Structure 1
Amino acid sequence: MTNVVVKLSVRDLVHADLASCGWAGSDHHLAGVVGQLERARIGEVDYLAVCPATDIPVAKGGIDYQIKAGAGTLWQLAVHPALQSCGIGTLLVEAAELRIRKRGLLQAELAVEENNPRARALYERLGYVAYDRQPDSWDEQAPDGSLRRYETICTLMRKELTDAP
């Protein structure tokens, strides 16, 4: 087996990226991301893209600074399914934590669905600790294009960050 090394960079996600992000969710989800990009424009959130040299996102995720005072809340983290378990999620989370620290905040939080043990294992490996659980729900696009309500239970996790850079 040959190892291939691909250089990745992290930058802000922009509207033009959404045409390449169908792997990250339905059209309904991506329409919601458009609203998050407007929130990024006014500084309420950061929305990141991880890209190889082609500059086409292979991972994306947001940090919301409005959910909890003194913390950045990571959400909508996604890595292209064909590239999972290659370290890209780790790079995305570490870049998000750097953005949080640059705002002078020393805590990162996230919610992970209880039926997603691989993601939870990643977050635990990166130093996140469970502190509560809560129900969550959102509208999801069905294959026929209709919307249905998705309900789940999430574990809430947090990480104390080192001093801001």
Structure 2
Amino acid sequence: MGTTHTGVVELHLTVRDMEETDLPDLACFYSELNLKQMTDELQRGPRDVVDHLVVCVPSGMPVAKGAVNYEEKPEAGVIWTLSVRAELRSLGIGTVLICASEERIRARGLPRAEIGVEENNPRARALYERLGYVAYGSEPASWDYQADDGTIRLYETTCTLLRKDLRPDHVD
């Protein structure tokens, strides 16, 4: 048997606006339906309604994505569609993405960030709570997804709603 070697690799990440040219690199995350929806969503960006962000490694390849919706709730930016490549989870990339999203929300002068997490996703909820988000309710949620056989089906779930006050003088 060979010897196992371990080491530490430091990743220099950048966060930037997502572009349509990023979609092929994101295809490993998503079905055709999701990619079509992302293309449609990117068209909303110029209307100043949603910021679509990607986290990139030094080569420029996106390894995570997310969005902030400024239309959904008054006085808040709603962070949604967060995803990190499966093989790169638990390395802090999601934290980088959420912090960049919060910076975008603050830059618009909004006092609060909100996020929903499926009740069956305790790892994501633990991350959000570690970053200062506090649960305040729950709501049913649903969206279309593409099944393995290519059919479009409705996925239904319940999401816990969390929020974080972004005002610099706020103390919990």
- Does residue 152 of the first structure (1) align with residue 157 of the second (2)? yes
Match for residue 57 of structure 1?
A: 62
In the alignment, the residues of structure 1 paired with residue 84 and residue 70 of structure 2 have an alpha-carbon distance, to the nearest angstrom, of: 22
**What is the alpha-carbon distance in structure 2 between the residues aligned to residue 92 and residue 102 of structure 1?**
15
Q: Give the superposition deviation at 1:68.
A: 0.6
Q: Kindly state the Cα deviation for residue 21 of structure 1 after the two structures are TM-superposed.
A: 0.3
> Residues of 2 paired with 1:57 and 1:12: CA distance?
11
Q: Partners of 1:129 and 1:30 in 2: how far apart?
A: 31
RMSD: 1.1
Q: Which moved more, 1:101-110 or 1:21-30?
A: 21-30
Amino acid in the other structure paired with 2:80: W
Residue aligning to 1:116: 121
Q: Which runs of 5+ in 2 are unaligned?
A: 1-5
Q: Deviations over 1:72-107 (max 9, x none)?
A: 000000000000000000000000000000001110
Task: Tell me the equivalent position of 1:161.
Answer: 166
Deviation digits for residues 32-67 of structure 1 (CA, Å, limit 9, x no counterpart): 111211111211010000001111110000000000
1:22 Cα deviation after fit: 1.7
The unaligned stretches of length 5 or more in structure 1 are none
TM-score normalised to structure 2 length: 0.93
Q: Is the 8 A contact 1:106 1:163 kept in 2?
A: no
Give the match for residue 93 of structure 1. Answer: 98
Identity of aligned residues (%): 51
Query: TM (normalized to structure 1)?
Result: 0.97
- SS at 2:28 equivalent: helix
- Structure showing greater Rg: 2
Structure 1 residue 162: Cα displacement? 2.7
Other-structure match for 1:10: 15
| Structure 1 runs (4+) greater than 4 angstroms displaced | none
